[in-house]
Amino acid sequence: MSAKPSFFDLHLHTEFSPDSTISLEAYAQLAEKLEIHVGFLDHFELAFVNRPHHLNYETLPRLLDAFDRTKATYPNVSLGLEVDYYSNNASGVAEFCDDIRTDFNYLIGTVHVIDGLAVTTLEELNVLVSRIGLPPIIERYFDEVEGAIQSKLFDGIAHIDGVMRFIPLFPANPTVNEIWQRRTLELGKLSQRTGILIEVNLRGLNHPWGKMHPSQSLIKELVQAGAHFYVGSDSHSLSDFEEAAPKLRQVHQFLREWGGFGLPGSLRELLEG
């Protein structure tokens, strides 16, 4: 692989996430074949550190050791961390990020949970909808993402409109669609003003949403407003990663043509070199 690869997939989940079993080395081997620089981006959820198979302060050193071993053989790899943001524990998230920042090439903020339930899983989203309704869920999700951006704790924000993953399975609701477009554009522009990258997340293509997060039309509008993006497949398996590679290349080419491509954290030097 080239010492300076042209393509980057900065959102791969490994065996250190509760929803993947793939080793860092296995991804790195495939990445070398595909000529893609990969960034490992496992979950860190302060609200769930006591759950089995979730990263915590005791298991983080194992992730760091595994990365060091992998990078010794495969130099075109990077280490990030996908950190859940909670407005009701913003100080705890800030303290955690300050503690571990120097161990990682980049930190990515994300929102998965409203009232302790994941909006990115259909079962838990259904429970939330029955309790408070769909429009309030969408608004509260975007409120949390806004808090994550305003905190300036992160180099980028993952799946900025990830709450939409299963929305097509619910009855059509013009209010929900209006909230999604308006709030996604507002938060994208806030990201641009604060210098925080937005992720083009490919995982929505494999869910009922059927679009990237954010969608291509919104990406174009945000690029024109000056926003910059990095790209992540949000893979949880080797097949996810390999199948996403052609689309990943297309998105990179589009962002470069439109002047909206960026890299988070210490990876920025790869653009400047």
Q: What is the pLDDT of residue 53?
A: 87
Angle between helix axes 122-132 and 134-151 (nearest 10 degrees) is: 110
Give the predicted TM-score (pTM) of the model.
Answer: 0.96
* Sheet with strand 77-84: strands edge to edge: 8-12, 37-44, 77-84, 106-110, 156-157, 197-201, 229-232
Domain 8-272 fold is: TIM Barrel (3.20.20)
Q: Please choose, from the candidates 73, 139, 135, 67, the residue with its C-alpha nearest in 3D space to the C-alpha of residue 104.
A: 67
Q: What is the pLDDT of residue 2?
A: 47
Work out the number of other CB atoms within 10 angstroms of the CB of residue 25: 15
Per-residue pLDDT of 96-118, as tens digits, reads 999 999 999 999 999 999 999 99
The pLDDT tens digits along the chain (273 residues) read 446 788 999 999 999 999 999 999 999 999 999 999 999 999 999 999 998 889 999 999 999 999 999 999 999 999 999 999 999 999 999 999 999 999 999 999 999 999 999 999 999 999 999 999 999 999 999 999 999 999 999 999 999 999 999 999 999 999 999 999 999 999 999 999 999 999 999 999 999 999 999 999 999 999 998 999 999 999 999 999 999 999 999 999 999 999 999 999 999 987 765
